[in-house]
Structure 1
């Protein structure tokens, strides 16, 4: 069968004149293919090595000292505050929570606002030294407190109570103790025992705020929804606990520094006026006595006491 372009005439066979060229071209083709193969392998090798270098560079870590587990230094971290919004079940008034003995170096009281402020500035750090260990034991936060001796007309918590009802007061918004100087300087000037008990009482409210007791009290107050007997009962428990905290502090500060041991005897002999919001004179004397004799803060758990003890 003839191909379309075939003439039909075929010459006689003769040995191929260019046979050596065909062999030579075959050799060259083999060389070229080998060269291409080697080039490809070289490129692959470069890419692999480069990738290894790049991955190693990315994995480089700074050298760390080798420390055996037995000699590794222990890292102590402060406990995370676990504030509990509780009253009777608050960790602060759990058995075993104590405050240490403290030494207060205080300037002498004087009949001016400046002298009062100097006295307060020295007393606050002493109160902190006593109460911060207790708050730490209870795992509660530690919040600084400010003291304001101005005769303010309003606060972040609202208008101040009348002078006839309170010589001082505490506002949790801003954590400030207000002790208006005109109230302290009236009636012949400031008295040492009165000022010590007053500021320690107001700082007691600050301790209640730090521990969550005050916040829970406020929540229960709102839940009372105007029920006056319930509201007054809550108020008396709060105030009598602050009295107990105040007495507990003075018992641990008396006989050292500027607070003589005789001040505790004076406090035992002092009397309190009865109040619907702060408690009867009998209840006030009871919690003051418990604070002076307390070995731990559980002695001041007024919110766990029967109603007869917080009348």
Structure 2
């Protein structure tokens, strides 16, 4: 039907024919039904798409729980049941490291050939230290005392955290508890014809013995007693000899458990037994040194090295 032009006269309105009204009703019904159908389909589509998105999100499977046969309820341990953290025991004669029953395992040391350059000596020391640790760490673990890393310094130092080093004529090497360092100045090792295998083995074993004293608390207790001596020379020298003779004993004990394996021949034990040391006010007499080296070589456990419980005549 044409839309009349506004500029002209409109014809009078009359109702459409009946059949045309029915046709229009049918069209509207069809449109409504189609709209309802599309609305339903839209709802269905939204539900389907939503379902697909949820399915994709859940497509990443979580790891299945580990099968268990029993149900375990976590329990906060009481102070008495918590594992004990290794701590130093600030004792000398009563220290657990020298109590009966603390045994050292047999160890095998694979060492480079001992030669006379700085690099070669350092390589020897750096191979020997882990072997000393394999011997002593189980002992410290047995008695619940800590294991502290040690450093080796082959420089000819003029000072350390512990003060000036002892003169060369008094010591080939020395230990400083501040920083846990073994000092083995190269010029001292190269004097008198160069490094000797037994000398170097026992030197490092002796100085590591001081490190054992540091780890166990013996060295700290020794320093406390030194301060309490208040300048009493006799007491101070007695403490020094007990400390040094114990390091001799510890060094000999290590050598006995390492000799005959790897790079340390069994003959090293015999050589150490036959070695003599000069008398020293601070390190003990030759007789006392031989006594404690012998005890270390024959020791069944570390109690053989309890110099702080020994009578005065054994630590002269």
TM-score range, shorter chain: 0.7 to 0.9
- Residue 111 of structure 2 corresponds to 106
Take 1:65 and 1:173, find their aligned partners in 2: how far apart are those partners? 52
Q: 1:293: how far off?
A: 0.1
Listed one character per residue, the Cα deviations across residues 87-139 of structure 1 (whole Å, up to 9, x for unaligned) are 00000000000110000000011111111000000000000000000000110
- Residue 251 of structure 1 corresponds to 256
- Residue 158 of structure 2 corresponds to 153
Q: TM-score, normalised by structure 1?
A: 0.76
Relative to 1, partners in 2 of residues 1:123 and 1:77: Cα closer, same or farther, differing over 3 Å? farther
Relative to 1, partners in 2 of residues 1:295 and 1:65: Cα closer, same or farther, differing over 3 Å? same
Take 2:134 and 2:71, find their aligned partners in 1: how far apart are those partners? 36
Q: Give secondary structure in 2 for the equivalent of 1:190.
A: coil
- Residue 216 of structure 2 corresponds to 211
Take 2:123 and 2:257, find their aligned partners in 1: how far apart are those partners? 22
Structure 2 portions without partners, runs of 5+: 1-64
Take 1:295 and 1:231, find their aligned partners in 2: how far apart are those partners? 30
Question: Is 2:264 the counterpart of 1:262?
Answer: no
- Residue 82 of structure 1 corresponds to 87
Question: Is 2:178 the counterpart of 1:176?
Answer: no
Choose the corresponding residue for 1:68, options 64, 67, 70: 70
Take 1:66 and 1:100, find their aligned partners in 2: how far apart are those partners? 39
Structure 1 portions without partners, runs of 5+: 1-62
Q: 1:68: how far off?
A: 2.2
Take 2:143 and 2:258, find their aligned partners in 1: how far apart are those partners? 21
Relative to 1, partners in 2 of residues 1:137 and 1:268: Cα closer, same or farther, differing over 3 Å? same
- Residues matched between the structures, number: 246
Listed one character per residue, the Cα deviations across residues 204-247 of structure 1 (whole Å, up to 9, x for unaligned) are 00000000000000000000000000000000000000000000
Take 1:133 and 1:69, find their aligned partners in 2: how far apart are those partners? 36
Take 1:300 and 1:69, find their aligned partners in 2: how far apart are those partners? 50
Take 1:239 and 1:69, find their aligned partners in 2: how far apart are those partners? 56
Listed one character per residue, the Cα deviations across residues 128-176 of structure 1 (whole Å, up to 9, x for unaligned) are 0000000001100000000000000010111100001000000001000
Listed one character per residue, the Cα deviations across residues 178-222 of structure 1 (whole Å, up to 9, x for unaligned) are 000000001110000000000000000000000000000000000
Question: Is 2:236 the counterpart of 1:234?
Answer: no
